[in-house]
Amino acid sequence: MDHTRSLPQSPTIDLGTRPAQHAAASAPVFSRLAIVDRRRQVLAYALPIVNSLDASPKEMTEALHLAYRTVDLAKYVADRPAFIWATVDMLSGEASIPPSGGGVGLLIHPSEALRADGAENIIALSERSIRTILVDFTDQPGQRALLPFVSHVMIDIGVKGLDVATLVEIAHNAGVSVIAENVHGKLGPARAWDLGVDYIMGSIYQHEKPQQKRNLDAGEIQCLETVRLLAASDVDTGRIAEVLSSDPEMTVRVLHLVNSVAIGLPQRVDSLHRAIIMLGPTRLTTLVMASLISSRVQQMDALWYLLARAAACRELIGDDTGYTVGLLSAFSEETGIPVGVLVEKSLVSAEVADALENYEGPLGAALAAVIAHEQGDIAAIVETAWTPDQVARAYLTALPWALETVRQLNLT
């Protein structure tokens, strides 16, 4: 977690409540990172800061309190626990912790271990059953004494020369679970698990999956054929209806969705052809892909990630081509189908193919930036055409839309 990073150069979150160009320069801008176990099950979501506030500690605390008072955390974490940066007033009990359905825990900056009242405050949080994560655990003075009173420690495995295995052992001996941060790339998770950590902070897609050319099953073929038809310049709704009608379950889902979201219709929609026209290409593509994935995974988070990546790419690019790129990329990671196969079967444009296979062009840069954001890899974002602030705002805008879409699809 780049703690732009003294107390709290704590994460800041502009919560996506207004257009980026109108956001106050001093407002915190947060990202949202999943804390996941080896099975990709989400323990919680952390909200670390991605921008640096040129302000005094008092001003930073006030900015965080204002953000926390106005944010609806459920839009960004659903019913999962959230971990937000603790301010001095939260630690002392003088400021309340914002509510959320899944509960809210605190990210504890390492400087708290050095404060005269640091241990007392953290013990008090433990007595109130408030979960805490001691960030940047390196076994520095004062940190080990706090272990009996924190829920987890977070270790930055990207720090060169850090004896991570020993730190993990120290934490485990104290009965504390370990979260690894700065777990980057496809090989990062395997290294983290080998070091003995219990969770990683990053993306649920950040796990190596075997990708090899194979025969697609009937559902995958139907899905990609529908995507191809929907991406055509002249959408053939009759042919789409023919393809979808071969799957009774899909027909029911399409009709259910259109009747759920269409307000004020004089009568229910019973025609698949009419439903396809009313839903439009983007929503229908989403339904088809999400339906296939939901038959494989029984967790909301996978669908949410898939749609959030697509919507964030759309926010950055400004049109639905970005959405298609993000959706196909996440679909590949979730299903294990190589992107080359998706490109071949869905007959996407050369521009989309280059973005998916090589991260080339504006679409490829946007996709690379969003994936790096999902992993909390600030350096990788900087290498693209985008800034961490821009990508975080796009992702925060995408999250509530994606969550509402998952709920409308009624697949979980």
CA torsion 256-261-267-270 (nearest 10°) is -30
Domains by residue range for the chain, with CATH = 20-202 (3.20.20.450), 218-409 (1.10.3210.10)
- Residue 9: its pLDDT value, please? 30
Q: CA 164, CA 385: separation in Å to the nearest integer?
A: 33
Q: CA 412, CA 409: separation in Å to the nearest integer?
A: 8
**Whole-prediction pTM value?**
0.83
257-302 confidence digits (pLDDT tens):
888 776 566 778 888 888 888 888 888 888 887 777 766 555 678 8
96-112 confidence digits (pLDDT tens):
999 999 999 999 998 88
- Residue 386: its pLDDT value, please? 95
- Residue 187: its pLDDT value, please? 76
Q: CA 222, CA 226: separation in Å to the nearest integer?
A: 6
Q: CA 18, CA 29: separation in Å to the nearest integer?
A: 12
Q: From 80, 128, 125, select the one nearest 107 (Cα to Cα).
A: 125
